Chains A and B, each alone.
Chain A
Amino acid sequence: MASKRMIPRILALALCLSLALMGGALAEGKHLNGALYWFGSSLDPATEWDGWTTCRAGITETLVTVNEKYEIVPLLADSWEQKDDTTWVLHVRDGVTFHNGKSVDGEAVKKSFERAMELQERAVTAAKIASIEADGQNVTITTTEPFGAFLANISEPMYSIVDVDAGTDFASAPVATGPFMVTGFEVNTRIDLAKYDGYWGGASDIDTMTILMIDDDSTRGMALQGGQVDIVQRIAWTDIPTFEADSAMQVFDTQGARTRILSFNYENPFLADVNVRKAIAAGINYEALVGVLGSGVSVAGAPYPASSPYGYETLNRQSYDAEAAKRYLADAGFEDADGNGYVEKDGQELMLTITYSNGSFTTMLEAVQDMLKQVGIHIELQIVDSTSELGESGSFDMLCGNTQVLSTGDPQWYLDSFFKTGSSNNVTHYSNAALDEVIEKLAQTFDIAGREALTIEAEKLMLDDCAAIWLVGENNFVVANSRVSSITPYPIDYYFVDNHLTID
């Protein structure tokens, strides 16, 4: 008797267990699982770089955005006007609501900007904002000085518009305007999202979404192959051919704005000589480097990527010419007198150390080392935990790092930070009066064509002077299974999920 009564209990338990195990499969409507390689420590777009995560997950939006062609296009602001050198009036799109249903107007935008500026200094300096006034759907922003990159720079995710008065904990549940709203967040683990029905651009076709943080590249790839996730950003380069050969997978790649750059210490007497820098630039076979690294990179050759509107094709880009490299060395007074394969000048061998912190650069730099050996330059490699402090102390010959050269789709920041005489990130102590002048002019030029022309001029000056070496551009990869469609591959990697994305 007892055993008979047990049967329904066991069955009920078994049913509960299998339901629990099926988990997500029972969730109603269309569900998409995505994976990212990094999460910010909170979901508050105004703190640190956490806005990059909320932007990737489709939670928050900025007034303007950067499209696939690096063009500044309207987002929450549908039009704008520049009143004078320092005054911008932006009109907030009608009908935009926060996730709590509240309308977004000029006042909401003002509060959101002020909150960001209060929370971090970066929000004050990046757009050089002096004051903000709201009037109906308009916001008037005044900058502290004429600043041509203003519009581009307010596309940085830290300027995402949030409902400051929402009264929720922004670290775990920001109230913003994106196509998805947060339903759950576990730090460094997952974000659960539901579509926002009132999204101004049309509600997403996907009902719920989970974004996982998987920092191991191969695990992320396997999770995609195993069907645990449907779409991922970034994948191990060595896995790309496997995914490309798999008919059940879609691979999207765009040449991103993140470039691997060799920078010189201009205090080093060898490197202060432009002929030595030119010899290094000509001694590197860029095509071969791409071959060594596989499908993850493209030849850079110039400060800004080929996909940007800054005249890539018209530039006299860095190119490989071993004979020219030897000539440049001879012009600089170097020769291999002792026959050991490396050149010397005044008895001193041309020996330079490349310092880097990213372990994944080793293969590429070993190739560079080998290529430069062919022209007589002795290169040593040194890997450290962080190049920042080394940079500040000036105790290096060459540094290799990767930098987002068009971080908000605008060239100004990169030029300002790394090449302007005396600027804070210019640890190489590069100084070029002609370039400084162009950078200054760029800051005060507002029309797009004029900015593009000045950027090209700056690039020419940098290439002629061999101010740095732009080795390769890292491609952005989005890989998805065939259930996902309407994927937009963006060159700037803080864009990922949007309202167009669909799943079967």
Chain B
Amino acid sequence: MNRYIIGRVLFVIPIMLVLSFFTFALTYLSPSDPITLKYERMGAVPDKALVEAEKEAAGLNEPFIVQYWNWLKNVLRGDLGKSYFYSTSVWSEMSKRIPNTLVLTGATLLLTVLIATPLGILSAVKQGTWVDGLIRFVSFFGVSMPSFWVGTLLMYAFGVKLKLLPILGSGDLKHLILPAVTLAFWMVSLYVRRVRGSMLEEMNKDYLTGALAQGLSHRRVILKQILPNSLLSVITMFAMSIGSLLGGATIVETIFEWKGVGKMAVEAISVRDYPIIQGYVLWMAIIYVTVNLVVDLSYHYLDPRIRLGGRR
């Protein structure tokens, strides 16, 4: 088991090498350089000599492979480099933003689990009734509404009209509510439908009839047998959602000025901030390897029939 985990963790190294090389190559191939773009963004007309001097100092005039090798050498020494755009080290920028993303992800997941699970179960158990109809109707709306629109509506209602919650910023609980609810709105809607679907699938299986025939109560069978079995199929999907949330909810982070990694990544891409992009890719690789590992391990505990690493 431990060997399996170590193997999976070490697997991040080749993944990272391949990913970083291709990201580096792609950003390098795209036109424009980070220094010029930074100044254009400020609305300034940069002096050519200044741009050239900065490019030279940042090593941007080196051939592609030299630039990549320099970056890789520094990373191996634990130095992720310096952002061209923020003028700070990549690590200091990311270490400020990752906690914000973690908080937003945590709050969103908590809301999703707390709301989507009971509603999904209710909807499945009451299949075909008005309760089911209402839940499905609302969740249909939820999955169809784009988050920038939900976010703007919430901002307008709770920030501008009722003045109950701050519109932007990150920091305390008050600031967290609107962005987390915006993200959770879509997630809850998605998972209500998902939980409902897999519950119904399980409820059609023979063992339900068997359990009921044995005299077990309906409630007990739903909670102890059907729910754990149906959650198994939801977990993979949920893990992918965790991964994408940890990668940053770009749109929500942008409209609420939530200083997370998603907004950072998009800004970095638009100004070709290679060191930040690479730092972000590293972060994403770590997330996905970790999330996938946790999912596999949780499968093993939830369903003992599944053996890890092909061993019996």
Chain A contacts to B: CB under 8 angstroms: 20-21, 23, 38, 40-42, 48-49, 52, 120-122, 125, 187-189, 212-216, 218-219, 222-223, 225-228, 258, 357, 384-389, 402-404, 417, 424-425
* Chain B residue nearest in CB terms to A417: B45
Say how far A213's CB is from chain B's closest CB, in angstroms: 8
Find out whether the CB atom of A226 lies under 8 angstroms from the CB atom of B259: no
Task: Tell whether A384 pairs with B166 under 8 Å between CB atoms, given A21-B172, A226-B159.
Answer: no
Cβ-closest 10 pairs across A and B: A226-B159, A386-B32, A41-B87, A225-B160, A226-B160, A388-B36, A385-B32, A226-B167, A223-B167, A424-B48
Sample (17) of A-B pairs whose CB atoms are under 8 Å apart: A41-B86, A121-B47, A212-B168, A212-B169, A214-B257, A216-B254, A216-B255, A222-B156, A223-B167, A225-B160, A226-B160, A226-B167, A227-B163, A228-B166, A388-B40, A424-B48, A425-B45
A-contact 0/1 string along B236-257, CB 8 Å cutoff: 0000000000000000001111
What's the Cα separation between A225 and B166 when bound, in Å? 11
B44: A residues at CB distance < 8 A: 49, 404
Find out whether the CB atom of A388 lies under 8 angstroms from the CB atom of B174: no
Say how far B85's CB is from chain A's closest CB, in angstroms: 7
Which residues of chain B (195-227) have a CB below 8 Å from chain A?
none
Q: Which residue of A38, A42, A227, A384 is within 8 Å of B31 (Cβ)? A: A384
* Chain B residue nearest in CB terms to A21: B174
Say how far A46's CB is from chain B's closest CB, in angstroms: 13
What's the Cα separation between A48 and B257 when bound, in Å? 24
A402: B residues at CB distance < 8 A: 43
How many CB-defined contacts (below 8 Å) exist between A and B?
106
Find out whether the CB atom of B167 lies under 8 angstroms from the CB atom of A222: yes
What's the Cα separation between A462 and B6 when bound, in Å? 71
Find out whether the CB atom of A122 lies under 8 angstroms from the CB atom of B47: yes
* Chain A residue nearest in CB terms to B263: A215
Check if B2 is an interface residue, CB within 8 A of chain A: no
Check if B37 is an interface residue, CB within 8 A of chain A: yes
A226: B residues at CB distance < 8 A: 155, 159-160, 163, 166-167
Find out whether the CB atom of B155 lies under 8 angstroms from the CB atom of A222: yes
Find out whether the CB atom of A385 lies under 8 angstroms from the CB atom of B30: yes
What's the Cα separation between A41 and B34 when bound, in Å? 15
B155: A residues at CB distance < 8 A: 219, 222, 226
Find out whether the CB atom of B257 lies under 8 angstroms from the CB atom of A219: yes
Check if B292 is an interface residue, CB within 8 A of chain A: no
Check if B26 is an interface residue, CB within 8 A of chain A: no
* Chain B residue nearest in CB terms to A23: B172
Find out whether the CB atom of B31 lies under 8 angstroms from the CB atom of A389: yes
Check if B50 is an interface residue, CB within 8 A of chain A: yes
Find out whether the CB atom of B259 lies under 8 angstroms from the CB atom of A188: yes
Check if B233 is an interface residue, CB within 8 A of chain A: no
Task: Tell whether A222 pairs with B49 under 8 Å between CB atoms, given A386-B40, A388-B32.
Answer: no
Find out whether the CB atom of B86 lies under 8 angstroms from the CB atom of A188: yes
What's the Cα separation between A214 and B30 when bound, in Å? 28
